[in-house]
Structure 1
């Protein structure tokens, strides 16, 4: 008899649960209104601001995700701190900006599945310029101006960072997938796991996003240059 009551209680519990559930109904609202509110901060090549419009790998992913929900994307640009606050209070539902799985904002946002592992490398323009990492001391190493984190990485190797928009053809720090076929003229520095941030408590939306990101081929055709 006790087992019967336990079984009935379990069934009622399962029926009453709608898991995963959004705390504020974000996923239902997006589907109902046809609008996904997304924030972005520039961090090439993941997000690039072109004439006030987000372009790059992650904006394309979010556009595709919104399309699967039957929605369009309403974009908001800003700084990380301002957009994190907008995400926290529900003014936007998702936030992109080349965020990593170990982001310092983890306490203020939900984090998606790591959809991409990207190798950061130091590349050399010619075979004659190839050096071991231990030989970078004092060398001038280029990086994109919009990537101050790469400058810090270069400095940590006791090399001299130089911001350059035309970094190709120089000794430079970049992502391996940004290089030409001459990947053998590069040396690994680190591997990053890239994620997208979602408003905390919006579990249904996070589940839908993770399901989308884990589908094979989602990065196919994304702008990687």
Structure 2
């Protein structure tokens, strides 16, 4: 009886391994499945292209663009410029209120939003958020996050890898 049970157990294990192998092979054939993925292709679109960034002024992090509509200044715009350089992207800046910028992000008019957003942001249902970064200059202990389009996980991962290298993660 022991040999029969051992044979059944061995058969079940071999069957489970074979099923797992078939599943992996099947997924590999699904158009080059990449994880994390960007359903809308944000990372691919902005790399060697244009990165559309919304900024909301916040003392210590982002100063406004001034009357001439120039480049915003501060620690967050500096980080965004560094990220853009790392993916060979040119930045198109848009300044606005948080609500306006999140709406633009949801509509696909922006790729990234920076401002005084913290890990407690109320926009979590409308945007993807990075991990919190309390070490950003001007954060004053707040865990600052950047916003990205919902579901664009490869882009989110690229932004976080850059921020991890530049300011460290929590």
Report the TM-score, using the length of structure 1 for normalisation.
Answer: 0.61
Alignment pair present for 1:195 and 2:141: no
Equivalent residue for 1:67, pick from 85, 88, 94: 85
Flag the 1:57–1:8 CA change in 2: closer, same or farther, 3 A: same
Alignment pair present for 1:2 and 2:11: no
Alignment pair present for 1:27 and 2:40: no
Supply the distance in 1 between the matched residues of 2:79 and 2:20 (Cα, whole angstroms): 45
Supply the distance in 2 between the matched residues of 1:107 and 1:64 (Cα, whole angstroms): 27
For structure 1, the residue ranges without an aligned partner over 5 or more in a row are: 121-173, 176-190, 220-225
Structure 1 residue 63: Cα displacement: 0.4
Structure 1 residue 50: Cα displacement: 4.0
For structure 2, the residue ranges without an aligned partner over 5 or more in a row are: 1-13
CA contact (8 A) 1:93 1:198 kept: yes
Matches within 5 A, 1:213-224: 213-215=163-165, 218-219=166-167
Q: CA RMSD in A?
A: 2.3
Q: For residue 52 of structure 2, what is the aligned residue in structure 1? A: 37
SS in 1 for 2:59: coil
Q: For residue 209 of structure 1, what is the aligned residue in structure 2? A: 159
Structure 1 residue 54: Cα displacement: 0.8
Flag the 1:119–1:36 CA change in 2: closer, same or farther, 3 A: closer
Q: For residue 49 of structure 1, what is the aligned residue in structure 2? A: 64
Q: Identify the structure with the greater strand proportion.
A: 1
CA contact (8 A) 1:94 1:197 kept: yes
Report the TM-score, using the length of structure 2 for normalisation.
Answer: 0.79
Supply the distance in 2 between the matched residues of 1:5 and 1:104 (Cα, whole angstroms): 43
